[in-house]
């Protein structure tokens, strides 16, 4: 019997995207380390871009891929700012968790 090598359908990619997104959001909610939380955000972002590309392929529409390029650029900029803040924070307080950053509270 031929090994039932399942054909990779677009649904797989969508499922993978969903799983990645779920991991990212749960990680964001449960972890306290700012760096890890930040990585979780990135994970969610990439899950979404993966979904975009998939749909672009499914619908045979270039728009989805165009959006991904935009997302990458924005993500790069966001990483610069976000990482900058986190590094500055950890330098000052190496043991800081996300819950300690509540000084901006109104």
Q: Is 23 in the site for another protein (CB under 8 A)?
A: no
Residue pair 65/56 in contact (Cβ under 8 Å)? The answer is yes
| Token pair recorded at residue 66 | 């165009």
| Token pair recorded at residue 34 | 């700012």
| Closer residue to another protein (CB): 65 or 101 | 101
Q: Is 99 in the site for another protein (CB under 8 A)?
A: yes
Please identify which residue in 37, 45, 47, 86 interacts with another protein, judged by CB under 8 A. Answer: 37
Give the three-class secondary structure for 56: helix
Q: Which residues bind another protein (CB under 8 A)?
A: 25, 28-29, 32, 37, 98-99, 101-106
């Amino acid at each position: 019997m031929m090994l039932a090598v399942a054909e990779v359908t677009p649904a797989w990619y969508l499922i993978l995207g969903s799983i990645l997104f779920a991991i990212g959001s749960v990680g964001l909610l449960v972890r306290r380390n700012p760096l890890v939380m930040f990585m979780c955000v990135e994970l969610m972002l990439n899950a979404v871009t993966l979904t975009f590309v998939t749909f672009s392929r499914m619908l045979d529409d270039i728009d989805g891929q165009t959006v991904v390029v935009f997302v990458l650029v924005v993500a790069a900029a966001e990483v610069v700012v976000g990482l900058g803040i986190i590094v500055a924070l950890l330098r000052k307080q190496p043991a800081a968790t996300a819950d300690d950053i509540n000084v901006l509270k109104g």
